[in-house]
Amino acid sequence: MNIEHKSFKPSDWVPNNARFPVLIYRPAIFDATSSDFEEAFEENGWTGIWRDGVFDYHHYHSGAHEALGVGRGTAKLQLGGPGGEIIELATGDCLLLPAGTGHKKIEASSDFEIVGAYPPRQQADIQTQAPSAELLAIISSLSIPGNDPVVGATGGLKEFWR
């Protein structure tokens, strides 16, 4: 598995995350299905697991980091808010978005399905406007999760989110 890391400065109204980079696991799981991501996330203690797509508008989460595993299909997502980078994802790939990171679906195959999850005791929200001072404080206060959503106690966020 190859893990890419990308950092984004604030973009327009999207705060992104000054402390932690986005991690892109290619592929996180070979021959993955949505069930494989659900199992991996659950096994590594990530919670609030769901299956769906990605919103087609820029948004970010202030109260939680977010893992997104591609269970099937392909998609192009824009990370970092307006003017951010467009990345291509395929079945088996996984994103780890630190709180505050803007993301939006640009296009997706008709069979695209993503599995999402969050660290324990973190609450996801959907933000579509510039953050208040309070939201920025929440984003910067979120700790590093105990386990990476894909590789567990070693590697992944343990390596890149020191």
1: pLDDT strictly greater than 90:
no
Model confidence, pTM: 0.95
Residues constituting the chain: 162
Mean pLDDT, residues 13-37 taken together: 94
154: pLDDT strictly greater than 90:
no
pLDDT of 77: 98
Averaged pLDDT score across all residues of the chain = 95
**What confidence category does residue 15 fall into, taking pLDDT thresholds of 50, 70 and 90?**
very high
pLDDT of 39: 96
By C-alpha distance, which of 123, 117, 143 is closest to 46? 117
Domains in the chain, CATH or no CATH each: 2-143 (2.60.120.10)
Segment 29-83, tens digit of pLDDT: 888 999 999 999 999 999 999 999 999 999 999 999 999 999 999 999 999 999 9
pLDDT of 162: 83
pLDDT of 14: 97
pLDDT of 16: 97
Segment 78-132, tens digit of pLDDT: 999 999 999 999 999 999 999 999 999 999 999 999 999 999 999 999 999 999 9
Give the DSSP per-residue string, the chain: -EEEEE----BTTB---SS--EEEEETSSTT--HHHHHHHHHHTT-EEEEEE---SS-BB-SS--EEEEEEESEEEEEESSTT-EEEEEETT-EEEEPTT--EEEEEE-TT-EEEEEE-TT-----B-SPPPHHHHHHHHHPPPPSSBTTTBTSSTHHHH--
